[in-house]
Amino acid sequence: MDLHSETLLTMEEASQLQLVWKRFRRHRLALLGAVMLSIFVLAALFAPLLAPPVPRGANTTKVGLLPDPTAIDPINQHLPPGTKGHILGTDEVGRDILSRLLYGARVSLYVGLMATLGSESIGAIIGAISGYYGGVIDTIAMRVTDFMLTLPLLPILLVLSAMMAGRAPTAFARINYLIIILVAFGWMTSARLVRGVVLSLREQEFTEASKALGASDVRIILRHMLPNAIAPIIVNATLAVGGYIIVEAALSFLGFGVQPPTPSWGNMLTRVQDYMFQNPTLAIWPGLCIFLTVLSINFMGDGLRDALDPRMRSERVGGG
């Protein structure tokens, strides 16, 4: 391929990205979702700067120096929002709620993003291989996928999380174990989506031309199959992030996910039922963060679906 052809391809890709961005901007809810998600991501990244410092007298080695979401202050339990030094108040052991929300965002978003990246990558590879080769390989891959989809997810996650928790030497290791479990049981939807796309592409003329030119199967899959399946992968990934955040919150709430004192939005709700009438904000703040984050991701997924495949929008509008 000469330089002129490469330049034309680059310009075509750039114009395509501009077109996708133009369609995405028209989706106001998607833009709102992108703004909300950006706020949460920035808040998580700059948590040490945004969180209030630890008050003196709290049970921590970081008193007065750095924000510490694990700092216990028994004297200042259940302080209401607006209290000096505690904008959102404190919990049942005097920990600052704002600090725990900010640092909890790190855990929840990390789990959601990494689990999505792993499951979408594995699912895309399995789906592409299954759809491209067909035959026995496709049959085996899809039967395994169907079997995995029939498994009761939550009970299995509870059992595996409990089994692996004892082997985790640190809180970070426990979080990574949780991600591995979520990936192991979350790749199936992506595999089926990619397989469907590849099945429709493997008989196309450009695929036959690549084979005639001597391109290997690996090159055809990586350079032609997967790039053409990127739209459904991206849309599915945006929706999967929200799903994994909810799953992590559910596991942590039940005591099988991220464990205190490491904060996550899920484990902040663990003992809330004991203090609902005394301090209802303990449930409101983490619940609101989970709700807004998942809602913003779903808005973005809807906008990306319309931007990457405008036919779907016209079909929905035409169908009423």
What the block records as the tokens of 200 is 């429709």
CA atoms within 13 A on the CB side of 2: 1
Interval 247-287: pLDDT, tens: 888 888 887 878 777 888 888 887 787 787 888 888 899 99
Give the residue, 309 or 64, on which the prediction is more confident: 309
Q: Is position 109 within any domain?
A: yes
pTM of the predicted protein model: 0.81
Interval 18-49: pLDDT, tens: 777 788 888 888 899 999 999 999 999 998 88
Q: What percent of the chain has pLDDT over 70?
A: 85
Which of 9, 6, 95 minimizes the C-alpha distance to 52?
A: 95
Own/partner pairs, 69-75, CB within 8 angstroms, 24+ separation? 69/95, 69/96, 69/99, 69/100, 69/102, 69/103, 69/104, 69/261, 69/263, 70/95, 70/260, 70/261, 70/262, 70/263, 71/95, 71/96, 71/99
Interval 91-104: pLDDT, tens: 888 888 898 999 99
Q: Is position 88 within any domain?
A: no
Give start and end residues of each alpha helix (H) in 46-96.
47-50
Residue 183 near residue 115, CB atoms below 8 Å:
yes
Which pLDDT does position 6 carry in this prediction?
43
Q: Is position 123 within any domain?
A: yes
* Domain hosting residue 174, numbered range: 3-52+95-318
Interval 147-194: pLDDT, tens: 998 888 888 888 888 777 667 677 788 888 889 989 999 999 999 999
Q: Is position 81 within any domain?
A: no
CATH number for the domain harbouring residue 286: 1.10.3720.10
Structural domain count, the chain: 1
Q: Give Cα 116 distance to the centre of its chain.
A: 5
Q: Is position 84 within any domain?
A: no
Interval 128-143: pLDDT, tens: 999 888 889 999 999 9
Compute CA distances 29 → 38, 69, 302, whole Å: 14, 33, 9
